[in-house]
Chain A
Amino acid sequence: METVVFALLNGLIYGLLLFMLSSGLTLIFSMMGVLNFAHASFYMLGAYFAFTLGQHTGFWFALFLAPICVGAAGACVERWGLRKVHARGHVAELLFTFGLAYVIEELVKIIWGKFAVAYEIPPELNFSLFKLFGSQYPAYRIFMLVVSIAMLAGLWYLLKRTRIGLIIQASLTHPNMVAHLGHNVPRIFMLVFAAGCALAGLAGVIGGNYLVTEPSMAFSIGPIVFVVVVVGGMGSLEGAFIASLLIGFLQTFAISIDSSFAEIFSFAGLSADGDVGRITIASLAPMLPFILLVLMLMLRPRGLMGEREF
């Protein structure tokens, strides 16, 4: 029983972290049709900025300053790079961001060094909040939960209840019409791109010390963010939310199930020492998001909640 509770809690936290990361990308992808390969790199930049700023100004101040710096970096990238390539179509943009991911990873290696950086959980959050079935539950995880839900509410409020939100939502699906209505769409693009990167930066700030802050962190989580955005569906934050929770639960539940194929398919006489028999559900965990991606792209390219097929 307790494994189910643990899996639910951990799955929720991992899912929300994934959502914070992919919400920015969903906004950018649906408005500019750009699948930003370097989005996870901005998540990494968020973690590294928080590490450096945190040393001078403490964690709490870095929690706000780091995403803003990442957003500024995103704005520069859009202004001097992406905008030039925009005219040449989505494939050129995809390639541009692909190159950008290499450059950002190498710059991080040069500035902060090749190995993991000691970006620790702040001491004032480093205690166990409550005991659950005999095992302590660290407070930092609940803090992550709180921040991600606050971010979700803020994003929802901004998009659904404010004028800027209205303009952004309109430009999500009909950028040309919005331009004709007199809004400077390129600047909105830049703002949305910067906001998307800032969101990824925020995810980096709170995810960086929970996981490990190292130059290859972007590369390991990058593809999973794509899965969330594509499975969630083009232009739909609700879709991305459902998809990230789905993947969060799928992965944490899979890790907690130990039965191997041999046990499950014992009726089919699968031997336990053969290759297929030895595979446990836990070892399948890293593959689940991609199985979902390929199936979704083939059967329902719109994704769960997407309006447009990209």
Chain B
Amino acid sequence: MSKGVVWKANLTALLLSASVISAEADGVKIGYIDPLSGPFGSTGDAGLKHFRYAANEINAAGGMGGMQVEVIGFDNKLNPKESLVQLQKAIDQGVRFVVQGNGSSAANALTDAIAKHNKRNPGEEVLFLNYAAVDPALTNKKCNYWHFRFDAHVDMKMAGLTDWLQNQKDIKTAYILAQDYSFGRAFTDAAKSMITEKRPDMKIVGAELHPIGRVKDFTPYVQKMMSAKADVVLTGNWGTDMTLLVKAANASGHQVPYLTFYGGGLGAPTAMGQSAVGLVKQITEFHENIEASDEQMARVDDFEEVNNLDYYYERVFTLMNMLDKAIDGVGSVDVPKIAATLEGMTYETPYGEVTMRADDHQLIQPLYISTFSEGVERDVENTGFGFETDIAIPAAATELPTTCKMRRPS
């Protein structure tokens, strides 16, 4: 009789867990799906702190359309499949706005899944607000009506960096290093095409992809760059891959300019030290030494004091404020209407006017190329060093054509 008993036991367990709970609650729920553990956990945690600070600010000012805003964190461990599992959990908890930024692989999975969810569950649509996944395909080949991006994509940022390269006649050879996934491949392709187009005289002496989050010691890669005699290094690395790369470059005394997207925050500056001064450059929509109103500076100081973390993601506040403006306009959590309002919206940020381009939902915003330097007014991660603007690129100049052919809901 032994087998029979075991069967009956776990059938009852199944029955017990079939009790019904459903969680519908009012208020604006925002689902933050990013890595909150593992090698990129600290990067994800920093983004969450920015969103929660923005939500508190908006709630203090009366909330979005009169409703309180809540940001719920979901840990996807930077894995696309886990992102879909967490998306399902978020939707079940009543989340109607999903924000994500770390890892274009997760972003590609989310944008596809959200489009399918909206098609299959009319009336329960979900909006995907992407604050940092910069794979160009998201607003070109794979664009869709429910995805909005609040960060310049790879080609826009690469255009800025290669413009700077145009008038550096003493730089003859370049080495490209990126992580082996969609973003890294897009970064490498953009770098290759734009360098050959704008600097035909320059020679690309190396283009390497390394597995994301798994290389613990970048010294062999740095030594390869040195033996290839590269005059400049272009890298798309971010989070722990950026920190460790810079740590290895510092240890090996690699004295060449590093053009990066993410060299300026989340642990990288502390690993750079003195040898990186004047060499490491980044292209971002914000750094602490761009002058802005005193009120904005006070906000930055307050954020850093509350979270003991550098104010880095200005675009998160742009995202939240534009969402706030849209929901105030619509008056309720009606996602299709909110999406329509966001399309083509212009918004005045403390660092200039930005517009959400209607035909591919890509935010057009001013970008700044800045260099890691000494003796600056505000330092980064209290290292004594900070970033100083080289070139300010107005929003219109960053705009690139799009191949997006979006299917708009009827």
Contact with B along A167-208 (1 / 0, CB 8 A): 000000000000000000000000000000000000000000
Tell me whether A258 and B227 are in contact (CB under 8 A). Answer: no
Residues of B within 8 A of A135 (CB): 222-223, 226, 252-254
A-B pairs with the 8 shortest C-beta distances? A136-B253, A211-B216, A115-B42, A255-B220, A135-B252, A6-B223, A138-B251, A115-B41
Chain A binding surface, main DSSP class: mixed
Separation of A7 and B254 alpha carbons in the complex (Å): 17
Q: Is B217 an interface residue (CB 8 A)?
A: yes
Structural contact, B252 and A136, CB atoms closer than 8 A: yes
Decide yes or no: A134 and B240 within 8 Å by CB, A115-B41, A128-B253 being known contacts: no
- Interchain nearest-CB distance for B188 vs A (Å): 12
Q: Give every chain B residue within 8 A of A7 (Cβ-Cβ).
A: 220
Nearest CB in chain B to that of A136: its residue: B253
A115 closest partner in B (C-beta):
B42
A286 engages B211 (CB within 8 Å)? yes
Nearest-neighbour CB distance to chain B for A223, whole angstroms, equals 13
Asked if A256 contacts B251 (CB within 8 A), the reply is: no
Q: Mark B329-349, 1 if CB is under 8 A from A, else 0.
A: 000000000000000000000
| B224 cross-chain contacts in A, Cβ below 8 A | 3, 256, 258
Contact call A258/B208, Cβ cutoff below 8 A: yes
In residues 197-238 of chain B, which contact A (Cβ within 8 Å)?
206, 208-211, 214, 216-217, 219-224, 226-227
Closest to A7 in B: B220
Question: Does A133 make an interface contact (CB < 8 A)?
Answer: yes
Looking at the complex, which of B32-40, B53-61, B304-312 is the stretch in contact with chain A?
Answer: B32-40
B residues at A contact (CB < 8 Å):
36-39, 41-42, 45, 180, 206, 208-211, 214, 216-217, 219-224, 226-227, 240, 244, 251-254
Return the CB mask of A146-170 against B: 1 if under 8 Å, else 0. Answer: 0000000000000000000000000
Asked whether A107 is an interface residue with its Cβ less than 8 Å from the other chain, the reply is no
Residue of chain B at shortest CB distance from A134: B226
Q: Which residue of A lies closest to B222 (CB)?
A: A135
* Known A3-B227, A135-B226: A282·B208 in contact at CB below 8 Å: yes
Give complex CA distance A210, B251 in Å: 11
- List chain A residues, Cβ under 8 A from B220: 6-7, 10, 252, 255-256
For A257, the closest partner residue in chain B by CB is B224
Q: How far is the CB of A232 from chain B (nearest CB, A)?
A: 23
**Residues in B neighbouring A282, C-beta threshold 8 A:** 208, 210
A211 touches B217 (CB 8 A): yes
Binds B, one of A82-90, A212-220, A242-250: A212-220
